[in-house]
């Protein structure tokens, strides 16, 4: 289960919206960034937003657990789950970040996270301030508990 620091990061980065809206990626979204099955014009209550967040986080955590083969601290797992929650399983699976991490190059992950700051605006790929802030927070969380040591 994702820890409180990870949940706080995601809640802050996503914000809570009880009425469906179109996110910067062009997808109908509600609650804390939930997109599956959302129709514009839909409204939910905060308890439903929490339930959807719990389901979405479980999927993000499962993706991290399935694809990361090196030991992780809780803060590392939380940071990666936030990344997957935001960008999706597919982008995580093909990322250079995952490849570097699975090579044991933990120290490269913060830099790799901070490369994922672009979104589309008026058809152009631009740096998104919200993504920049989120990636910095994820990078800081990734390193918060230090790097696991190799056990003999």
pLDDT tens track for 6-40? 999 999 999 999 999 998 888 999 999 999 999 99
Separation CA 104–CA 83 (nearest Å): 19
Separation CA 53–CA 44 (nearest Å): 13
Average pLDDT over residues 128-135: 95
Domain assignment present for residue 152? The answer is no
CB atoms within 10 A of CB 120: 12
Q: How confident is the model at residue 139 (pLDDT cuts 50, 70, 90)?
A: very high
Domain assignment present for residue 109? The answer is yes
Quick one: pLDDT at residue 122?
81
Specify the pTM: 0.92
Determine the distance from the C-alpha atom of residue 41 to the mean position of all C-alpha atoms in its chain, rounded to a whole number.
Answer: 26
Is the predicted pLDDT of residue 61 greater than 60, yes or no? yes
* Percentage of the chain exceeding pLDDT 70: 98
Quick one: pLDDT at residue 152?
38
Average pLDDT over residues 69-84: 97
Annotated catalytic residue 50? no
> What's the whole-number average pLDDT of the chain?
94
Domain assignment present for residue 75? The answer is yes
Question: What tokens does 57 get?
Answer: 């986080």
CB atoms within 10 A of CB 110: 18
Annotated catalytic residue 14? yes
Domain assignment present for residue 150? The answer is no
Where residue 122 sits, what CATH number does that domain have?
A: 1.10.530.40
- Sequence-distant (6+) residues with CB within 8 A of 118 are 125, 126, 127, 128, 131
DSSP SS3 for 30: strand
Average pLDDT over residues 82-108: 96
The parent domain of residue 11 ranges over: 4-143
Average pLDDT over residues 68-86: 97
Strands (E) in 1-152, as ranges, are: 17-22, 28-31, 118-121, 124-127
Average pLDDT over residues 61-87: 97
φ, ψ at 134 (rounded to 5°): -65, -45
Separation CA 49–CA 149 (nearest Å): 38
Separation CA 88–CA 124 (nearest Å): 21
Domain assignment present for residue 151? The answer is no
Quick one: pLDDT at residue 151?
58
Counted domains in the chain: 1
Is the predicted pLDDT of residue 110 greater than 90, yes or no? yes
């Amino acid at each position: 289960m994702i820890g409180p620091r990870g949940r706080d990061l995601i809640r802050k980065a996503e914000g809570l919206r009880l009425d469906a809206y179109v996110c910067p990626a062009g997808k109908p979204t509600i609650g804390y960034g939930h997109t599956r099955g959302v129709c514009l014009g839909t409204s939910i209550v905060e308890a439903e937003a929490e339930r959807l967040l719990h389901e979405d986080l479980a999927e993000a955590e499962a993706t991290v657990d399935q694809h990361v083969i090196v030991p992780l601290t809780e803060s590392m797992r939380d940071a990666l789950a936030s990344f997957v929650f935001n960008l999706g399983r597919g982008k995580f699976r093909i990322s250079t970040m995952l490849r570097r991490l699975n090579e044991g190059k933990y120290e490269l992950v913060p830099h790799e996270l901070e490369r994922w700051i672009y979104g589309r605006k008026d058809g152009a790929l631009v740096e998104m301030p919200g993504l920049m802030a989120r990636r910095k927070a994820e990078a800081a969380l990734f390193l918060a508990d230090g790097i696991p040591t190799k056990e003999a």
